[in-house]
Amino acid sequence: MGNSDGLTLSGAGGQLRLSVEKSRHRSETGGSRRLGKMATVVALLGTLAGCAAQADNDAFSWYNDNRSAPKGNRVYVCHGFGCAYRTPVDFSRRDLNRLKAILAQGRRSPQAERKAVAKAVAWQEKRVAPLVGSADDIGGLDMQNAGKRGQMDCLDESTNTNSLLLVAENHGYLKHHKVSSPVARGFFLDGRYPHATATIREVESKKVFAIDSWPESNGKPPVVQPLTEWMASKPVSS
């Protein structure tokens, strides 16, 4: 929060400041209170819009010193929460053929491709589990597992999904979508834990969809929904 003269919200997309002028002629229980509620609503809506705009960034901009971008057919699988550990995994020709076959199931339409993407994400989780030790990764909010190898929070999951999608895009396996940058939502101020997800943008409609593998345990298909819905939702586990 900001000072008494305004409201400040901080988010992944920057900082939004909304000034609310004081009025000496309004009672505290009347118009000024309604004005304050309206200001809060406007500010929160602005924050959500700013968060959604993160998807406009290049997908590679998600990576930093703690999150490694894929290189060729190698992905760096994040685990341990916040990418505390990174395990390199090289996709073999057999792996790539399997990934291609899964995504080819969705070539008839954007909707079908999003279902195929969900299958591909589940496939990757199973594929890397023996190397990473993530076969028993628990979905949803499980802070008791923070720091444990093989357990993943939303930053780990978002990074891993983003890396898989970039490999697929690089090989031309996606027909109806482009990989867009992961995004974040929730900053406690609106009653939600901070959360992140990978995203893809439909080529024809330009609509962005969340590919959220965090709510589910290892090897299960991720939640796929329009980013606008994902931004407005509150996970059961949060």
Contact predicate 214/139, CB 8 Å: yes
Check residues 227 and 58 and name the one with the higher pLDDT.
227
| Predicted confidence (pLDDT) per residue in 82-135, tens digit | 999 999 999 999 999 999 999 999 999 999 999 999 999 999 999 999 999 999
Q: What is the pLDDT of residue 1?
A: 35
What does the alpha-carbon distance between residue 41 and residue 93 come to, in Å, rounded to a whole number?
51
Distances (CA, A) of 175 to 100, 141, 153, 203, 224: 11, 33, 29, 8, 17
Q: Give 38's pLDDT tier (boundaries 50, 70, 90).
A: very low
Residue 56 structure tokens:
């406009």
Whether the pLDDT of residue 153 is over 50: the answer is yes
- Percent of the chain residues topping a pLDDT of 90: 61
Q: Give the three-class secondary structure for 59.
A: helix
Task: Work out whether strand 74-79 and strand 14-19 pair parallel, antiparallel, or are unpaired.
Answer: unpaired
Length of the chain: 238
Q: What is the pLDDT of residue 219?
A: 94
Cβ neighbourhood burial of 70 (10 Å; 0-12, 13-18, 19+)? buried
Q: What is the pLDDT of residue 37?
A: 42
Q: What is the pLDDT of residue 104?
A: 98
- Cβ of 174: how many Cβ atoms within 10 Å? 22
Whether the pLDDT of residue 17 is over 50: the answer is no
pTM listed for this prediction: 0.75
Q: Give 137's pLDDT tier (boundaries 50, 70, 90).
A: confident
Task: Average the pLDDT over 13-31 and give the result.
Answer: 38
Task: Average the pLDDT over 200-204 and give the result.
Answer: 97
Whether the pLDDT of residue 181 is over 90: the answer is yes
Task: Average the pLDDT over 206-217 and give the result.
Answer: 95
What average pLDDT does the chain have? 80
